[in-house]
Chains A and B, each alone.
Chain A
Amino acid sequence: MTSSFILIGMFSSLVALMLSGAGLAFVLGAIAFLSTIFIWGPNALIVTTLNTFETMTSESLMAIPLYVLMASILQKSGIIEDLYEAMEKWFGNLHGGLAIGTVVICTIMAAMTGVVGAAVAAMGILALPSMLKRKYHPPLALGAICAGGTLGILIPPSVVTIVYAITAQISIGKMFIAGIIPGIILAASYSIYIYVRARLDPTIAPINEDMADIPLGEKLRALKTLILPFFVIISVLGSIYAGIATPTEAAAVGVFGAILSSAISGRLKVDQLSQAAADTLRVTAMILWITIGARAFISVFVATGGADSILSFVQDLEASRWVVLAAMMFILILLGLFLDEIGIILLCVPVFLPIVKLLGFDPLWFGVLFMITAQMAYITPPFGYTLFYLKGVLPDHIGIGQVYRGVIPFFLIQVVVLILFIMFPQIVTWLPELGSAQLQ
């Protein structure tokens, strides 16, 4: 029972110190240090430093500054504002049109990277100012970015999916294909929700009446503002899917594309590059220092047996297969309260997968449920990395409370979609099975 004691101790001190308003990186780090000293011995403190060395040379995390830089250059050179203006001309009289457009851009972004921090921070920089400027209600705008930004876990390429596939010993390719349809269904559900919500309460996403009768000619002319953003998107997606670059390298291609676009549009200034670089360092340092603290926290939590009691609870559970499945999902969300997705996978997949197989569930299908649950864990208040990453790029007058309020409806949508996939597994499995049928 000591392990449940550790679990409770670490969790309650996390909540208490977090609420004190101290930097999250330091809260996580300090709890990790103190628990290490008390329950593992001071020698073990070295572990926290060793994890940092690994974080310092992570190729996949390097995608974060590169995508943030790309986003910041595009935003500072006004290319994105042009894009939102065009969107407004076309969809200005569609309820919640800009937020729906944001979800669409998030979905495209999800096909570029699987690093949640990169997508969310980049979208916070890109999309938020344009939506706020048009009087969108902050919680709606923030919720759309949080939910959309985490789609990258499910839609390939995705580091989390790779780690799951390797740990679960199923094909990475199949796992990738399996994520596509559920990802699109989630994106569509977010969009439908935004539309319905904005239609019921137009004050949260004001319709621009001036846009109602814009002549078609002007609308078509506005389309040319799409050229530059699309050029950047195609340079990134093209270099990934044509086999020219890894996803992280593609982000560097995207930076080059962004600089080129802002030069073409005649708005490239050294001052803007300097500001973009400062933004990038600010956001990257914020996310990566949290990562250092989180990694320290996770290794202590694992090594001292903090997770054991929860996991053995599932192992010993003798109930119907659906109850066990629900218990596993619930535990994923619970652990997601304070572990990152890679930590959750390393911890849970080896424990859960034998159970999943024993109960006769498909590991591929479970993988998709797992990824959706990981997304939910990412946006569940009070502790969700997406929420913090987004907070890091918010203007000062928007507090984290608004972010919390914004994500709750999207969380509920995820619950509904998750239940849908549990009830109809074919939605998840038909595409990868089609792919493997063709292979044979």
Chain B
Amino acid sequence: MLYAAQLVTRVNKLLFDSVKWVIFLIAGLMLFEVISRYTFTAPTSWAPELATLLFGPFFLFGGPYLLHIGGHVAVDIVSANAKGRTKLLLTALSMLLALVFGAILLRFSLPLAVSAFEYGETSYSGWNPVIWPAKAALPFAALLLILQALAELIVLFSGKETAQ
């Protein structure tokens, strides 16, 4: 169990460390668009759209590992002073809420991503790419969030700390 929890954390960390570079790609695409529109009067239809399509997966995939490092903002006035059993319960509650949130996102986004795939849904823009990969990022990130919340609960009740 504990091993599985550590594995989940490691996968999410790896994902976080890879996805963070995407922001340079987004910045580069937008800069490219600015230059080609302003300097060459040749705006592309794909560069700004690709940037927006990357944006969703970028921040979504950062979420699960953020749960592990406590990066999701919380009001810590009460919990900072809590000790022992109370603290444990409060932490468990917060992981449960993340779990509920992830589960419902997964339950409702998966069919939408599948239907986008089945329709071969495109964005109906000048570039007109298929958009299911971007939509699929949501159920995928939700699943990883659920797994991370479970991992945190396992570690919490086993009384051990995982290595970051």
Q: Which residues of B contact A281 (CB under 8 A)?
A: 16, 19-20, 23, 58-59, 62
A65, B72: Cβ atoms under 8 Å?
no
B156 shortest CB reach to chain A, Å:
13
A25 to B142 Cα, complex, angstroms: 13
Is B153 an interface residue, CB under 8 A from the partner?
no
Contact residues in A for B17 (Cβ distance below 8 Å):
278
A46: Cβ under 8 A from any B Cβ: yes
B63 at the interface (CB under 8 A from A): yes
User: Would you mind naming 22 contact pairs between A and B with Cβ atoms under 8 Å apart?
Assistant: A19-B77, A20-B78, A23-B67, A26-B97, A49-B105, A50-B112, A52-B109, A53-B135, A56-B134, A56-B137, A56-B138, A62-B55, A65-B26, A66-B23, A66-B30, A69-B24, A249-B33, A249-B34, A249-B48, A277-B24, A281-B19, A388-B73
Which single residue of chain B is at the shortest CB-CB distance from A381? B75
Do B73 and A392 have beta carbons less than 8 Å apart? yes
* Contacts A18-B75, A56-B56; A253 near B34 (Cβ below 8 A): yes
With A53-B56, A59-B48, A62-B52 given, name 4 new contacts (CB 8 A). A19-B78, A29-B100, A48-B108, A278-B16
CA distance A255 to B93 in the complex (A): 39
Task: Tell me whether B31 and A256 are in contact (CB under 8 A).
Answer: yes
* Chain A stretch 334-386: residues in CB contact (< 8 A) with chain B: 382
CB within 8 Å of A: which B64-109 residues: 66-67, 69, 71-80, 82, 90-91, 93-94, 97-98, 100-101, 104-105, 107-109
Instruction: Contact check, B63 vs A399: say whether CB atoms are below 8 A apart.
Output: no
CA of A251 to CA of B20, assembled, Å: 17
- Give the residues in chain A near B98, CB-CB below 8 Å: 22-23, 26
Nearest Cβ distance between residue B104 and chain A, in whole angstroms? 5
CA distance A252 to B67 in the complex (A): 28
Minimum Cβ distance to chain A for residue B41 (Å): 12
Cα(A418)–Cα(B26), bound, Å: 39
Q: Which residues of A does B touch, CB under 8 Å?
A: 17-27, 29-30, 33, 45-46, 48-50, 52-53, 55-59, 61-62, 65-66, 69, 239, 244-245, 248-249, 251-253, 255-256, 273-274, 277-278, 280-282, 284-286, 288-290, 292-293, 382, 388-389, 391-392, 399-401
**Total contacts A-B at CB 8 Å:** 201
- Known contacts A46-B108, A281-B20; A245 and B75 CB within 8 A of each other: no
Q: Given A20-B78, A56-B134, A277-B23 in contact, is the A48-B52 Cβ separation under 8 Å? A: no
Q: A244-B38, A256-B27 are in contact. Are A21 and B94 (CB under 8 A)?
A: yes
Q: Are A25 and B79 in contact (CB under 8 A)?
A: no
Which B residues from 35 to 56 make CB contacts under 8 A with A?
38, 48, 51-53, 55-56
- A284 near B58 with CB under 8 A, answer yes
Q: Which residues of B contact A29 (CB under 8 A)?
A: 97, 100-101, 104-105
Known contacts A56-B134, A249-B30, A249-B34; A65 and B59 CB within 8 A of each other: yes
Assembly CA distance A16 to B17 (angstroms)? 34
A57-B77 CB under 8 A given contacts A20-B94, A21-B90, A277-B23: no
A48: chain B residues within 8 A (beta carbon): 104-105, 108
What's the Cα separation between A293 and B63 when bound, in Å? 13
Shortest C-beta distance, A41 to chain B (Å), equals 13
Known contacts A48-B105, A280-B20, A286-B66: does B34 contact A401 (CB below 8 Å)?
A: no
B124 within 8 A of A: no
Partner of B52, one of A20, A59, A274, A388: A59
Shortest CB distance A245–B (Å) = 5
Closest CB of chain A to B135's CB: distance in Å? 7
Check B60 for interface membership: any CB of A closer than 8 A. Answer: yes
In the complex the two chains form, is B75's CB within 8 Å of A19's CB?
yes
Judge if B21 is at the interface, Cβ distance under 8 Å.
yes
Q: How far is the CB of B35 from chain A (nearest CB, A)?
A: 9
CB neighbours (8 Å) of A23 from chain B are 67, 72-74, 94, 97-98
Give the residue of B56, B74, B94, B104 whose beta carbon is less than 8 angstroms from that of A45. Answer: B104
In the complex where A249-B33, A282-B71, A284-B58 touch, is A25 in contact with B101 (Cβ < 8 A)? yes
Q: Knowing A27-B97, A253-B34 touch, does A20 contact B90 (C-beta < 8 A)?
A: yes
Q: How far apart sit A19 and B31, CA to CA, in the bound complex (Å)?
A: 42
Name the B residues within 8 Å of A22 (CB-CB). Answer: 74, 90, 93-94, 97-98
- Tell whether, in the assembled complex, residue A62 and residue B51 are in contact, meaning their CB atoms are under 8 Å apart: yes
**A401→B77 contact, CB < 8 A:** yes
* Bound Cα distance from A48 to B55, whole angstroms: 19
- Please report the C-alpha to C-alpha distance between residue A255 and residue B29 in the assembled complex, in whole angstroms: 12
* Docked CA distance A25–B137 (Å): 18
Q: How far is the CA of A400 from the CA of B79 in the complex (A)?
A: 12
User: Contacts of A392 on B, CB cut-off 8 Å?
Assistant: 71, 73
Cα A307 to Cα B123 with chains together (Å): 34
B63 contact set on A, CB distance < 8 A: 285, 289
Q: Top 5 nearest A-B pairs by Cβ distance? A: A56-B56, A21-B79, A285-B62, A22-B94, A23-B72
